[in-house]
Structure 1
Amino acid sequence: MNQHPACCAPLQHHWPLPRPIPGAVLVSCPFDPAALAADDFQRAAIEQTASLQRSVAKRQAEYLAGRVCARAALQRLDGRIYVPGTDDERAPVWPTGISGSITHGKGWAAAVVAHSSDCQGIGIDQESLLTDERAERLAREILTAAELQRMDPAQVGLTVTLTFSLKESLFKALFPLVRQRFYFEHAELLEWSADGHARLRLLTDLSADWQHGRELEGQFVLNGDQLLSLVST
């Protein structure tokens, strides 16, 4: 019987984003690296690889919390007991017929899963809100020229954080489908609104199905200084 690791708070089965995705399950978990116990991986029955053993407590705790969430989400989805491994691209390995994504940020981890028949790809990402000053420094690395032109000077921190997070979610949603890396300049955030709606467009050809000009819907929620985004196909 798996035991809950000491570094993780009780699991939360909820949907914190504005619009539910039919057939998708999201599980989240606050975690505290300072509370990581020596036997937490064993207690949770999750493999601790050699590289993880060499990692700092923060990395170990966030990995463990993310996998605990992923296992719980899959179990709620269809009853299976499965912990995603990690492939050569450092992406989670999901069971055949499953789309999924894991994120971890400041003391919080989450996983979202769905059957591929309901959702071809799904990506989730959490980020801490950038200050306006830091966002100004990073803007040209993350935003395209068109995005920079559209940016409201009064919302620099939010816009850069949101654009970064949505593009991360987009990558997580599409990479398992196209198996091709792409970067910030290969997509643009066309529009977003305060109700958590967003729309993105690809600026490069990734596959026969995912070509330049293809648009996708995204969503996000801001909770204090933490922003959570999701893109699904």
Structure 2
Amino acid sequence: MTERPALPAYCTPLDAAWPFRHAVPGARLVSTRFDPARLDPEDFTRWGVPPMAGVNKRQAEYLAGRLCAWEALRVMNGAGAIPAIGDDRAPCWPQGTVGSITHGAGWAAAITARHTQWRGLGLDVEKTLPVARADRLAGEILTARELQGYAEQDETSRALRVTLTFSIKESLFKALYPLANKRFYFHDAELIHHDDTGRARLRLLTNLTPDWRAGSELDGQFVQFDDYLLSLVHIPAE
């Protein structure tokens, strides 16, 4: 499919504006807002996307993310495509490209770049957690080092800390799993730096492959908008 069908009525116009404060050269990010209640099942047919099982909300999220991926690929190289689903349920990007898709709470986005510039990209969006839920989840998401000083922070800071750590570790997994082909979990990495400009840095705490061992550090970034937090991990090509 080279020409884009009409955008489904349940999505807002696709937005190719870069949301982060720091550039990722060559990467293209496209986002949309969507209303699951307005999803038409025929939208899957019009876009050539195999329907997925599940409730309307999940179907709407899935399709919105794929539409963003199609447009991000089109903006990057002039040829839109819907990434297939691999056996591990991860998107299969066209040869020579890498990318990531995220969606949640009525917002979806995809990012893509050429493999010659970036080995891996991971994108994740989350609604800012209520402080009570953040406090319940803190021990599951934060390492012992990340928990230092947590209890002394105010409610806003605690909610942001858990939301950010959760999101950027999700982005880390999306960026690194296709390269390592090995699953890892929240306590297998830690957020070692983040600042007011949106920069972040993570460190692996476990050995995944000879190339990705404990102590490896990776860069990322994040941005807050409305009540969302969007994070990105980008792994440069060698």
TM-score by length of 1: 0.95
Which residue is 1:224 aligned to?
226
Q: How many residues align?
A: 229
Which residue is 1:10 aligned to?
13
Kindly report structure 1 stretches of 4+ aligned residues shifted beyond 4 Å: none
Report if the CA contact (8 A) 2:164-2:229 is conserved.
yes
State how far apart, in whole Å, the 2-side matches of 1:184 and 1:200 are.
Answer: 12
Which residue is 2:201 aligned to?
199
By how many angstroms is 1:150 displaced?
4.5
Structure 2: gaps of 5 or more residues: none
Report if the CA contact (8 A) 2:72-2:80 is conserved.
no
TM-score by length of 2: 0.93
Which residue is 2:153 aligned to?
153
Residue by residue over 1:77-123, the C-alpha shift from the partner in whole angstroms, topping out at 9 and shown as x without a partner, is 11223110111211111112211000001111000000111111000
What SS class does the counterpart of residue 23 from structure 1 fall into?
A: coil
Instruction: Give the residue type in structure 2 aligned to 1:9.
Output: T
By how many angstroms is 1:67 displaced?
0.3
Instruction: Give the residue type in structure 1 aligned to 2:6.
Output: Q
Change (3 A) 1:44 1:3: farther
What SS class does the counterpart of residue 99 from structure 1 fall into?
A: strand
Report if the CA contact (8 A) 1:5-1:44 is conserved.
no
Report if the CA contact (8 A) 1:125-1:165 is conserved.
yes
Matches within 5 A, 1:49-68: 52=52, 54-68=53-67
- Does 1:132 find its partner at 2:131? yes
State how far apart, in whole Å, the 2-side matches of 1:124 and 1:130 are.
Answer: 18
Which residue is 1:82 aligned to?
81
State how far apart, in whole Å, the 2-side matches of 1:184 and 1:46 are.
Answer: 32
State how far apart, in whole Å, the 2-side matches of 1:194 and 1:56 are.
Answer: 38
Instruction: Give the residue type in structure 2 aligned to 1:199.
Output: R
**% same residue:** 54
Instruction: Give the residue type in structure 2 aligned to 1:140.
Output: G
Instruction: Give the residue type in structure 2 aligned to 1:65.
Output: A
Instruction: Give the residue type in structure 2 aligned to 1:16.
Output: P
By how many angstroms is 1:61 displaced?
0.6
What SS class does the counterpart of residue 174 from structure 1 fall into?
A: helix
Cα root mean square deviation, aligned? 1.1
Matches within 5 A, 1:41-56: 41-48=44-51, 52=52, 54-56=53-55
Structure 1: gaps of 5 or more residues: none
Residue by residue over 1:116-163, the C-alpha shift from the partner in whole angstroms, topping out at 9 and shown as x without a partner, is 111110000000101111111000000000000143622110000000
Report if the CA contact (8 A) 2:198-2:221 is conserved.
yes
State how far apart, in whole Å, the 2-side matches of 1:110 and 1:36 are.
Answer: 17
Report if the CA contact (8 A) 1:74-1:113 is conserved.
yes
